[in-house]
């Protein structure tokens, strides 16, 4: 019975139209990153810049990639830290 | 000097050739001088869609390789004296033409026409690069299916990389009853995903098949809904503001009743 009610009220979200839209949204995150590897490169360069304000990192070993699970895409960054800075500089400092 | 518009999609079978033929006939019917180029070398089709297959003497490769001047290779349409077709070669393959040659050719042709429309082959390889080489505008055709929309997204990215910015989208074979029942992506869904400007929406219409069977263009059929959609697209290309068609299918009994008593 509950299932039936759910189906009536929840139908909109499980319609094939919405399933199509959701699947496309996820697949395009990857496609677009693939079309422009420059995007990930630029992101990596900026990440290094920002993080270097706070800690010393191993730039060579830094990895940035997109990871997808069932229903979401995550930006995964693996950044080996060599040393923390005692004083950090921000733009306002 | 005219505009060079490439009609492309990535995925095959979504209606590039049909769209090219209908835009050509539609623009010609409004008085523009139009030249259509079939860039699908080896898989020539625009000629047969337009009913001009028996008139071909020279083709695109004859022109780019210097065998003959483009004017000699152009086929004049049967219905519009200001509509011309440069057919693709059928016996060569896509490497018979280079992007540089296409660019030079488009430059030459656009001096004599208001619109040059290039029918792009499916795919993203050399045929695609040839077809877009001389273009200054792009029309991307898609259908409301995940595969076609995904490929359209890829194509839009590649076009932008080649400096064909702001491509315009045509959504073909739309079935509004299905959208209403939640069984097909809507216009808004597709626009939201692709983030491009919409040029027009062509409803699914059996008359497209009937016209193509006869080598005619549905844009010339005043009674057809898809023809109306193409006529609207043509006017938008010419810079007119044309509101999107009323897209509900007016077939239901209730709708007919409402119309009868003047509610609609």
Q: Considering only alpha carbons, which residue of chain A is nearest residue B179? A: A17
Residue A49: phi, psi to the nearest 5?
A: -60, -50
pLDDT tens track for B85-99 = 999 999 888 889 999
Which CATH number covers residue B188?
3.40.50.300
- Residues B128-141: what's their mean pLDDT? 97
Instruction: State the residue range of the domain holding A25.
Output: 2-84
Q: Is residue A90 part of a domain?
A: no
Q: Is residue A13 part of a domain?
A: yes
Which among A16, A27, A36 has CB closest to B182? A16
Q: Is residue A89 part of a domain?
A: no
Contact B146 A20 (CB under 8 A): yes
Residues of B in contact with A19 (CB under 8 A): none
Give the pLDDT band of residue A93 (cuts 50, 70, 90): very low
Instruction: State the residue range of the domain holding B101.
Output: 3-260
DSSP state of B89: P
Whole-number pLDDT of residue A90: 60
Helices B225-237, B16-29: inter-axial angle, 10-degree rounding: 70
The answer on whether B26 is annotated among ligand-binding residues is: no
- Residues A62-89: what's their mean pLDDT? 81
Give the pLDDT band of residue A91 (cuts 50, 70, 90): low
3 state SS of B118: strand
* Max CA distance (Å), chain A: 62
Residue A13: phi, psi to the nearest 5?
A: -75, -25
Which residues in B have their CB inside 8 Å of a CB on A?
145-146, 149-150, 153-154, 157-158, 161, 179, 181-186, 189, 193
Contact A28 B153 (CB under 8 A): yes
ipTM of the complex: 0.79
Q: How far apart are CA B70 and CA B72, in angstroms?
A: 5
Q: Is residue A76 part of a domain?
A: yes
Of the two residues A69 and B123, the one the predictor is more confident about is: B123
pLDDT tens track for B11-68 = 999 999 999 999 999 999 999 999 999 999 999 999 999 999 999 999 999 999 999 9
Q: Is residue A92 part of a domain?
A: no
- Supply B213's token pair: 């069977």
Residue A6: phi, psi to the nearest 5?
A: -55, -40
Residue A79 has pLDDT above 80, yes or no: yes
- Supply B205's token pair: 């219409």
- Supply B255's token pair: 């709708």
Whole-number pLDDT of residue A62: 86
Contact A17 B149 (CB under 8 A): no
Whole-number pLDDT of residue B255: 56
pLDDT tens track for B202-261 = 999 999 999 999 999 999 999 999 999 999 999 999 999 999 887 655 555 555 565 556
* Total number of domains constituting chain B: 1
Q: Considering only alpha carbons, which residue of chain B is nearest residue A28? A: B150
pLDDT tens track for B92-118 = 888 899 999 999 999 999 999 999 999
* Residue-by-residue DSSP string for B150-204: HHHHHHHHHHHHTT--S-EEEEEEE-HHHHHTTSS--HHHHHHHH--EEEEEEE-
For every residue of A44-62, which 3-state class applies, written as one string?
Answer: HHHHHHHHHCCEEECHHHC
Whole-number pLDDT of residue A86: 78
Residue A5 has pLDDT above 90, yes or no: no
The answer on whether B103 is annotated among ligand-binding residues is: no
Give the pLDDT band of residue B74 (cuts 50, 70, 90): very high
Contact A18 B149 (CB under 8 A): no
Residue B264 has pLDDT above 50, yes or no: no
* Total number of domains constituting chain A: 1
* Max CA distance (Å), chain B: 65
- Residues B121-130: what's their mean pLDDT? 95
Q: Is residue A37 part of a domain?
A: yes
Contact A35 B154 (CB under 8 A): yes
CA B151 remoteness from chain centre: 16
């Amino acid at each position: 019975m509950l299932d039936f009610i759910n189906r009536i009220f929840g139908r909109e979200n499980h319609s094939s139209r919405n399933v199509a839209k959701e699947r496309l949204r996820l697949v395009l995150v990857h496609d677009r990153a693939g079309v422009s590897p420059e995007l990930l490169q630029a992101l990596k360069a900026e990440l290094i810049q920002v993080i270097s304000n706070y800690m010393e990192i191993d730039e060579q070993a830094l990895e940035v990639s997109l990871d997808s699970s069932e229903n979401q895409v995550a930006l995964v960054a693996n950044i080996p830290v060599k040393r923390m800075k005692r004083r950090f500089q921000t733009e306002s400092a | 000097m005219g505009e060079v518009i490439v009609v492309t999609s990535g995925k095959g079978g979504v209606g590039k050739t049909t769209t090219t033929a209908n835009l050509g006939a539609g623009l010609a019917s409004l008085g523009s001088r139009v030249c259509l180029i079939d860039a699908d070398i080896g898989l020539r089709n625009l000629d047969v869609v337009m009913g001009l297959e028996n008139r071909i003497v020279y083709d695109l490769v004859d022109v780019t390789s210097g065998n003959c001047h483009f004017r000699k290779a152009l086929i004049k349409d049967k219905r519009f004296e200001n509509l011309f077709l440069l057919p693709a070669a059928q016996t060569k393959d896509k490497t018979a033409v280079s992007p540089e040659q296409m660019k030079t050719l488009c430059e030459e042709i656009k001096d004599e026409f208001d619109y040059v429309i290039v029918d792009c082959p499916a795919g993203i390889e050399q045929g695609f690069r040839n077809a877009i080489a001389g273009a200054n505008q792009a029309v991307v055709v898609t259908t409301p299916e995940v595969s076609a929309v995904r490929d359209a997204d890829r194509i839009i990215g590649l076009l932008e990389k080649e400096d064909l910015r702001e491509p315009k989208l045509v959504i073909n074979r739309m079935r509004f009853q299905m959208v209403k029942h939640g069984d097909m992506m809507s216009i808004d869904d597709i626009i939201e995903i692709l983030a491009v400007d919409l040029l027009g929406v062509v409803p699914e219409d059996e008359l497209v098949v009937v016209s193509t069977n006869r080598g005619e263009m549905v844009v010339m059929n005043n009674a057809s809904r898809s023809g109306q959609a193409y006529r609207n697209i043509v006017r938008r290309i010419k810079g007119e503001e044309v509101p999107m068609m009323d897209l509900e299918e007016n077939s239901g009994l209730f709708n007919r009743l409402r119309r009868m008593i003047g509610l609609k």
